[in-house]
Amino acid sequence: MAKFFVQKSAPLRGEVEISGSKNAVLPIMAAALLTEEKCEINGVPQLRDVDVMCKLLERLGAHVEKDPEGKTVDITAGSDLSCEAPYDLVKMMRASILVLGALLIRTGRGVIPLPGGCAIGKRPVELHLKGLKALGAVVDENQLARGIVDARADKLKGNTIYLDFPSVGATEVIIMAASLAEGTTILENAAQEPEIVDLANFLNKMGAKIKGVGTDTIKIEGVEKLKGVNHNVIPDRIEAGTFMVGAVMTGGNVLVKNVVPDHLKAVIAKLRECGAVITPVDEGVLVQGDVNPLVSTDIKTLPYPGFPTDLQSPFMALLTVAKGPSVVIETVFENRFMHVGEFNRMGANIKIDGNCAIIPGGKNLQGAQVVATDLRAGAAVVLTGLIADGITEISQIYHVDRGYENFVNKLKKLGANIMRVED
């Protein structure tokens, strides 16, 4: 298995170009199943999860074509689609569930084994199914008990749906299904993430009638047919946030290009509290971690527009070396402190109390053998390795490949001492 070897590095300096959003492109690719016409998606990041989604769509019967650089993906989901997603692909990626609504619309049935991905919490599909049932789908409970979602619907009809939690995945699946349902759907307590806005913009280009996205109440008027379109994916705010944190914790100076500052308001606010100088410029965001001393702050993860759970572990890496103690409260995923054990191997001395992590801060970290316990934790231990004495050896880096395009080369261009070794 491949590994990263990271050595203490000089402060990160230079500029970095942020790729298209992983969390935006996957639902958009799934939504391309809603039409028989070709959809051209641009700004696609070259990631393991994107490759898996391409293979999944092909196995379902869609024609998928990439340009030589992999930045553009053409998807044509003709008339002959399978209703069943293969387990060998689904187990590799939780986002596989995103095709469920489209399969119901196109084939009258969706069969999906409960998906895999990062083991950061339950991430149940109950809300997805609650929404689809409200639209008229029937779910086989016996199959569900065996870990297989088997939903059927001759016709979906609009309804008012309230989500008990603003689930991103459930919001996306319901929006897709409701776009071609009969009548009007009102989705309350919807997730508000920028990636959902991007999905809705894609669907509206296709001919859908979706209003209110980016707020907690979304109105979808069903239409009879959707058409093929061209679409540019938004930049990846989590990748951008990761590099911004890296710049600050190393005392660096980095121009982060291709970023939407509005998507990162909570992160920017917290980095400023830690002493960073962050300036929006025409090309993106200039991040200066070399102006003021690095001081601690507290964070609490929340659904958007709150502090993103996907940046909790990278930010905790920063807090291990900031001056003064801090508290991190995780409210979104119950298992998202698995990286704490890896940080502690390096000398962070973090204590866990329920959903709170208490970080003493100001530690001189030492390189160690650590594991990328999930996608974002993998990026976090890389950042920690940049400021730790000695060598940090990171295994299970396939997690990182799922969500960061060209991660090693981007860091190297900023001066990071990092190497990838294939076993």
The answer to whether residue 118 is catalytic is yes
Mean pLDDT of 16-44: 98
Are 14 and 413 in contact, with CB atoms under 8 Å apart?
yes
Task: Write out the two tokens for 53.
Answer: 């989604």
- Tell whether 126 is in a known binding site: yes
Taking only the tens place, the pLDDT of each residue in 311-370 is 999 999 999 999 999 999 999 877 789 999 999 999 999 999 999 999 999 999 999 999
Nearest C-alpha neighbor of 277 from the set 244, 308, 300: 244
The pTM assigned to this predicted structure is: 0.95
The CA angle 17-377-241, to the nearest 5 degrees, is: 30
Residue 67 DSSP class: -
> Once rounded to an integer, what is the mean pLDDT over residues 9-36?
98
Q: What percent of the chain lies above the pLDDT cut of 70?
A: 98
Greatest extent of the chain over all pairs of C-alpha atoms, in Å: 62
Between CA 289 and CA 138, with CA 23 as vertex, the angle to 5 degrees is 150
Lowest mean pLDDT among 26-30, 113-117, 284-288: 113-117
> How does pLDDT run across 76-128, given as a tens digit for each residue?
999 999 999 999 999 888 899 999 999 999 999 999 998 544 443 444 789 99
Query: Do residues 268 and 297 make contact, with C-beta atoms less than 8 angstroms apart?
Result: no
Annotated ligand binding at 22? The verdict is yes
Answer yes or no: is pLDDT of 282 > 70.
yes
Is 127 labeled as ligand-binding? yes
Q: Which domains does the chain have, with CATH numbers?
A: 3-18+235-421 (3.65.10.10), 22-232 (3.65.10.10)
Sheet strands side by side (includes 299-300): 299-300, 326-329, 356-359, 351-353
Give the model's pLDDT for residue 123.
47
94 is in an annotated binding site: yes
Tokens coding 370: 């650590």
Which pLDDT score, from 0 to 100, does residue 121 have?
41
- 8-state DSSP, 11: P
pLDDT tops 50 at residue 274:
yes
To 10 degrees, what angle do helices 22-31 and 237-249 make?
A: 170
Burial of 103 (0-12, 13-18, 19+ CB in 10 A): buried
For residue 161, pLDDT beyond 70: yes
Q: What is the mean pLDDT of the chain?
A: 95
The model's pLDDT over 216-267, given as tens digits with 9 standing for 90+, comes to 999 999 999 999 999 999 999 999 999 999 999 999 999 999 999 999 999 9
Marked catalytic residue, from 39, 83, 118, 274: 118
pLDDT, tens only, 141-156: 999 888 899 999 999 9
Tokens of 398: 């396939």
Please check if 124 is assigned to a binding site: yes
Is residue 123 annotated as involved in ligand binding? yes
pLDDT confidence of residue 115: 59
